Each structure stands twice: as structure tokens, then as C-alpha cells.
Structure 1
Amino acid sequence: MSKPRERILSTSMVLFHQQGYNSTGINQIIDEAKVSKASFYQHFKSKDELCIEFFNKRFDYWVSELENFTSDAKTVEEKFMKSFDFLVYMNKKEDFRGCSFLNIMSEIPGDKIEIHNVIRNHKSKLREAFNEDLKDDLLSAHIYLLFESSILTSQLYKSNELIEKSKLITQQLLKSSTSH
């Protein structure tokens, strides 16, 4: 059996993603991870600290999956097209669960500043990556907004339709930016 910290993290990865923050209690994590309460608090001072660790692990996982999915792209345009395809893939894999970061952000009060900062930091990294690829702040912001909003709307409608439309819009934006 894995170590208590690993079991707590792996249990919270599933529960926070599937149930959210408020619906996941420490006692449920302790029970499902098969650890004692003392062991939980030995590894994590609070549920908030565990949530931050969840976000860091989830971000690393998500970025790694995205990079693997787009790694064979030959052009920036192809990379962005594959990025939208990745969203479709994740919706199939995770049953339209959406973005864990935004799901949890909507649940927690504004005074949980550390958690909000972690969410903002991870979202900023994605924006920076888009800008790094495109080297055009306005264009990358536009595509980033299409990307993020298509995650939300696909979760809302349980459909990939708006991801596909965002992909087409992105393709047009990229074509028109290179034709100038």
C-alpha cells in the first residue's frame, strides 16, 4: 500500500475533481484514503492546504496531458487546433466535468486568498503559454478567452459544439493574423 500522504493526495485528486471543494469533507478523504485523522493532519495542516496541493498536481497533470496531445503539431496553428481537440478528449474522459480550478473557485469565498492566488497563477501560466506561442498579446488573449469559455460552456451544455466553433473561430483568427 502507498504511503499515507500519497493516498490522501490521490483520494483528494478524485474527490475534489468529481465533487468539488465544499462537498468533499476531510472525514471522507480520511476514510477513503484509509488514514487516521492524526496522519492527515501530519501531512496537511488544513483542507485549504490540501486543496492547494490538489491544484498544483492537477495543473501538472493537465499541462502534461495537453503537451502530450499537441506534441506532434508541426505549426502553431496545428498546435492550437489540437489544443481544442484536447478539450473534447478531456470531456469524453471526464464526462464534461469542466475545469476543476473554476469549479472550486465558484465555491469558495473571496477571503480564501491563497487558494484564489493559486488558481490565478495557474490560469496566468496558460495565458503566458498562449502568448509565448503567438507573440501577439491581443490575439493570444482572444484565443485564451475562447479556450476558457469553451471549457465552461461545454460543461454547461454537456456538449462539444462550442469547443468546435471556438476551434473554427481560432483557425480564422490565426489565418487572418498571418495574412497581414
Structure 2
Amino acid sequence: MKQTSSDPKQRILETATRLFYQQGYHATGINQVIAEAEVARASMYLHYDSKEALLSAFLNYRHEYWFSRLRAAVEAVNTPKKKMMAAFDFLHSMNEKEDFRGCAFLNILSETTEKDAEALVIIQNHKQELRDYIAGILSAETPLVRTQVYMLFEAALVESQLFRKQWPVVDGKKMVNALLGAGK
């Protein structure tokens, strides 16, 4: 894939983002990142002193990318229920766009070990921000309902990746619609 950025640091990050998300963290070697980003090894280590530092940069970059698109989808409508319906529509569209690769954070979580403490913190923070975001949308609902909606959202994301089908997102959306009341 031809890189679009003339900035070596950005090319490295974009390349690592694509490779870590498509292949996995452990299956992607630094030599592959360097080759596909078309940078010198020295440039790689000037910007990212280790593969772990590149992993952290990837997770932070993915967080910003993912949340900006979620917010754009959700904030286009004006009621809590419509916002949650839009969040499930966002999952549906991301599945289509990204070929059911699922949650980049959970994918990386499955590869982490105790030496990846920084990555774990970033993943936990991402999920907590998502949980808080949903809770903010549903602030008029009980804590239990807010948690149930979050869990249905997460389950729809994971199950749609597992089965490579949209039915978990469609069914999750229906369940949230019923949970939030048909008349709202």
C-alpha cells in the first residue's frame, strides 16, 4: 500500500495501525512496518523507541479515530434513544468498512502479557470512556440499564466479529430499542 503522508513518523504510525489491526500485534514485525512505511530503521527508532511504544501510539491513534466517528454518528441525532440506535448503526457500518475485524482494543488485549501493562491501561481507558459515553447519553436511565446497553453494545461488536455477520448488531439494536422503551 502506498503511503500518503510525507512525514515518516505518520507513515510509521499509519502502517503499524493497518498491520496491527489486520494481522495482529505479535504477527507484525518491526521489519515489516519499516519496509511498508518506506522508512529507515533509524527513523523508526527515532520516533518510536520500541515496538511497545509503537503499540501504545497505535492504540491511542485508534482510540481517537474510532471515537471521532462514533461521536459524529451519535451526535447527528437528538434523543438518547436515537443516539443509541445511531451507535449500533455505527457498529454496522464499521463492520462493513473494516471487514468484521472487530474491536482493535479487544484484539490487542488477547495478545497482551504482563509486560504490556501500558497497553492494558490504554485498553481499559478506552473501554471506560465508551462506558462513560453511553452512560452520559442515557443519564436519565438507571445505572443497571446503562450497564445493560453498554454490555449489549460490546457483545454486538464481539459477536459480529466472531460470526462475521451483522445479526448481532441488528439484534443488539432491537434489544436496546426494547430496553429503552418503544415510545421514547
Q: TM-score, normalised on structure 1? A: 0.94
1:172 aligns with 2:178: yes
Partner of 2:111: 107
Partner of 1:142: 148
CA distance in structure 2 between the partners assigned to 1:78 and 1:150 by the alignment: 17
CA distance in structure 1 between the partners assigned to 2:158 and 2:51 by the alignment: 25
Partner deviation per Cα, 1:126-172 (whole Å, 9 max, x = no partner): 00111111123221111111101111100110101011111111011
Q: Give how far 1:177 is off.
A: 10
Alignment equivalent of 2:80, drawn from 76, 85, 89? 76
CA distance in structure 2 between the partners assigned to 1:45 and 1:96 by the alignment: 31
The answer to whether the Cα contact below 8 Å between 1:13 and 1:58 also exists between their aligned partners in 2 is yes
Q: Give how far 1:69 is off.
A: 1.7
The answer to whether the Cα contact below 8 Å between 1:20 and 1:100 also exists between their aligned partners in 2 is no
CA distance in structure 1 between the partners assigned to 2:151 and 2:109 by the alignment: 17
Partner of 2:91: 87
Partner of 1:98: 102
Partner of 1:3: 7
Partner of 1:43: 47
1:20 aligns with 2:21: no
Instruction: Report the residue type matching 1:54 in the other structure.
Output: F
CA gap 1:176/1:71 in 2 versus in 1, 3 angstroms: closer
Q: CA RMSD in A?
A: 1.5
CA distance in structure 2 between the partners assigned to 1:93 and 1:146 by the alignment: 21
Partner deviation per Cα, 1:46-103 (whole Å, 9 max, x = no partner): 1111111111111111111112222321211001001101111001001000001000
- Identify unmatched segments of 5+ residues in structure 2: none
Partner of 1:119: 123
Q: How many residues align?
A: 178
Secondary structure of 1:121's counterpart equals helix
CA distance in structure 1 between the partners assigned to 2:69 and 2:137 by the alignment: 18
Q: TM-score, normalised on structure 2? A: 0.92
Q: Percent identity of the aligned residues?
A: 43
The answer to whether the Cα contact below 8 Å between 1:99 and 1:151 also exists between their aligned partners in 2 is yes
The answer to whether the Cα contact below 8 Å between 2:83 and 2:137 also exists between their aligned partners in 1 is no
Partner of 1:32: 36
- Identify unmatched segments of 5+ residues in structure 1: none
